[in-house]
Structure 1
Amino acid sequence: MDIVKSIGETKGRTERRDAAENRKRIIDAATKLFEQHGVEHVSINQIAMEAQIGSATLYRRYKNKSDLCLDLIKDKIALLFEDIEVYLKENQTAPPRERLKGIISLFMSFRDKKLQLLAGVEEGALAGSHFLFSLHEIIVQLFDEMKTEEQTQPNTVFKVDMLFAALRSDSYVFQRDVRGYSSESFLEQICLTFFPEK
């Protein structure tokens, strides 16, 4: 999938040695601080201090914390899309509703494992846009397959936008921690709300 190749790649250049060393220091510092304090409680300036580099050096590589979070999970995002690709190939004759539920299940499993970093990615306006846009396209196609001529339904893109809002980290954590839904029951409620069985 193109998304696997495009996430966080340097465009055909070999990284300078000092830049590579700075990147490693930033990644190591961010990983340590995120594990100790949680993503939302760590600032870019704290990461720069821990990495023993100037803030300007860090900002040259990462515009914001969302970009840094995306870099930390880009390999996992690539694996998620590989899993989605395999799942769709193996289930290409399954009804679109079933395939959609499977993809959302894969995404939720990914979210459970990388919740804090994914929440950090979601904070940025464009940091995760390639990743989210590609997932959005896949889900729109499946919703389009489910449409029937005689039914008046909301615009598919709007419907998927609303689904993504429900799947955001803050919404998911609220439903899990405040409402008491398990991952499985959350998935069932999402399915019943956005694409119920006819």
Structure 2
Amino acid sequence: MSEKPEKKPRKEITKRKVLNAAKELFIQQGVESVNMHQIALTAKVGQASLYRQYNKLSDICADIVREECQVLIDDTQYYLSNTNENLSSLDKLYQVIIKFVSYLEFRVDWICEVTRASTNYRPIQSPLYQWMRKICTELLLEAVEKGEIIDVDVPFTVEAILGTLNNVDEQLLHQGYTIKRILEGIENIYFNGLRKSTN
């Protein structure tokens, strides 16, 4: 006799309903137009059940960002673990940034807004940017140790790069920039200027 599949705990089911409903509303209306009451109605859960899971909207946003960006994180970690050892740390970092920008491109109409809202709009402090800050810092420090780049203030440079990446939606949707233009600009400003001259 086959075993019955294990039932998910009610708390987990409620959380999934809330996240699915919130994501649907964010895509349709934008984060700023959505409130906790709407999410509870769309998810078909009681207000008390919702608040047992999440105290505020930014907490929901943070969980959505974590879930949505896990594919990017996994892909990046696989790339860094399996990349050519002869590739410079700076080149690895640029490839990570290409992955980051390309990933956002297809979600740019909503994921950037959700990312900012996940920290009550404190700039570049969401789970996604905390992770990206760690990757950028590690690879730039590695580049310094290997003598690949000029002497540079690594923390400041990382924050400058993240500040640019934080506005990808503005650049794509409102400035009319292409992904190619954004990536070339990042390469020219932050990468070509850092490389040590081979002369």
What's the CA shift string for 1:45-67, capped at 9, x where partnerless? 21112223333432321233233
Identify which of 171, 181, 185 aligns with 1:175. Answer: 171
1:117 maps to 2:111: yes
Alignment RMSD (CA, Å): 3.0
What's the CA shift string for 1:7-46, capped at 9, x where partnerless? xxxxxxx997332332233233223323322333222221
Pick closer, same or farther for the CA change 1:124–1:91 going to 2, 3 Å: same
What's the CA shift string for 1:84-134, capped at 9, x where partnerless? 122222233212222111000111122123331342132233896444323
Whether the 8 Å CA contact 2:18–2:40 is kept in 1: the answer is: yes
Larger relative helix fraction: 1
Aligned partner of 2:180 in structure 1 is 184
Q: Which has the higher mean CA deviation after the structures are superposed, 40-49 or 143-152?
A: 143-152
Consecutive unaligned residues in structure 1, runs of 5 or more: 1-13
Amino acid at match of 1:104: I
Amino acid at match of 1:40: E
Whether the 8 Å CA contact 2:61–2:118 is kept in 1: the answer is: no
**Distance in 1 (alpha carbons) for counterparts of 2:97 and 2:134:** 13
Whether the 8 Å CA contact 1:39–1:117 is kept in 2: the answer is: no
Q: Which has the higher mean CA deviation after the structures are superposed, 56-65 or 187-196?
A: 56-65
**Distance in 2 (alpha carbons) for counterparts of 1:117 and 1:62:** 19
Identity of aligned residues (%): 26
**Distance in 1 (alpha carbons) for counterparts of 2:140 and 2:7:** 41
Whether the 8 Å CA contact 1:96–1:145 is kept in 2: the answer is: yes
Consecutive unaligned residues in structure 2, runs of 5 or more: 1-5
Pick closer, same or farther for the CA change 1:151–1:17 going to 2, 3 Å: closer
TM-score, with structure 2 as normaliser: 0.75
Amino acid at match of 2:102: S
Amino acid at match of 1:133: Q
**Distance in 2 (alpha carbons) for counterparts of 1:160 and 1:38:** 29
